[in-house]
Amino acid sequence: MLKRSLLLSASWLIAALLSFGGMAPALATGVYDIPMISSTDPLWVVDQGNVLSRLNRGNLTSALEDLAEATGNSVHFVTIRRLDYGETVDSFANALFEKWFPDTEAQEHETLLVLDTVTNNAAIRTGSTLQSSLLPVEIANSVAQETLLTPLRNGDRYNQAFLDASDRLVALLSGEPDPGAPEAQTVAQIEGTFATAEETEDSNATIWVIGLLLAATVIPMATYYLYLAIQS
């Protein structure tokens, strides 16, 4: 009975360690994890990073719905918790934009803003019609890198970050004057406090490789010595 109990305990320990070793990749988000957009489900706000309150998701959805109805210009916000290894927030945004709007005509009046909540890196994609009129590349990048990120650099104020980004995008895409980005001095003082996506991904990958190598070494040894203890 004692031998059986010890063997069962060892089996459970090994299974738990192996399961833990495979946990991190499961948390990654790929484009294939994001549902397809449709006329009945426009996906104004996709919060897979789970950083927005229900109230603010509703407020953002209402503002973006009103914008689309009034102007024909659509904005979509997406938060993700972790990128697939080798992916960047820019490549993710590009791939999702192409998935949702596969042809040039469908992209014309669309804007997609993506935030990776692990690194707090953001990317934005817009259709060519908006780029040439209401939302030039420089201003679009300012929305993603300044308007959205400044509240995050001052603390994890995700709700405020997206409300600010929504207010500025709604104004721009409605043909109103640009409310502008945060003051350059404020941004300069708080830059550089977060690792880049590449640095974070490399660090995470190294940690998991080391952990798995240790597990691969320790588990067989522990099992062997447990076997010897039982036999004796």
The pairs formed by 149-157 with CB atoms below 8 angstroms and a separation of 24 or more are: 149/120, 149/122, 150/182, 150/186, 150/187, 150/190, 152/120, 153/120, 153/187, 153/190, 153/191, 153/193, 153/194, 154/190, 156/51
Residues 90 and 170 in one domain: yes
In sequence order, what are the beta bridge partners of 125?
A: 112
pLDDT at 134: 96
What pLDDT, in 10s, does the model give residues 87-120?
999 999 999 999 999 998 999 999 999 999 999 9
Residue 160, phi then psi, degrees to nearest 5: -65, -40
Give the predicted TM-score (pTM) of the model. 0.69
Residues 7 and 74 in one domain: no
| CATH code at position 124 | 3.10.310.50
pLDDT at 89: 96
* CA Rg value for the chain: 23
Instruction: Measure the CA–CA gap between 87 and 144, rounded to whole angstroms.
Output: 18
pLDDT at 181: 87
The range of the structural domain enclosing residue 223 comes to 2-26+198-231
Instruction: Measure the CA–CA gap between 91 and 109, rounded to whole angstroms.
Output: 20
Instruction: Measure the CA–CA gap between 85 and 208, rounded to whole angstroms.
Output: 12
Residues 212 and 101 in one domain: no
Residues 183 and 68 in one domain: yes
pLDDT at 192: 42
pLDDT at 7: 46
Task: Say how many domains are in the chain.
Answer: 2
Residues 213 and 162 in one domain: no
Residues 12 and 55 in one domain: no
Positions in the chain whose pLDDT score sits under 70: 1-27, 184-215, 218, 222-232
Write out the H or E segment, with its range, that includes residue 69: helix 54-71
Residue 110's SS3 state is strand
pLDDT at 56: 97
Neighbouring residues of 63: CB distance < 8 A, sequence distance ≥ 6: 166, 167, 170
Residues 110 and 211 in one domain: no
DSSP 40: S
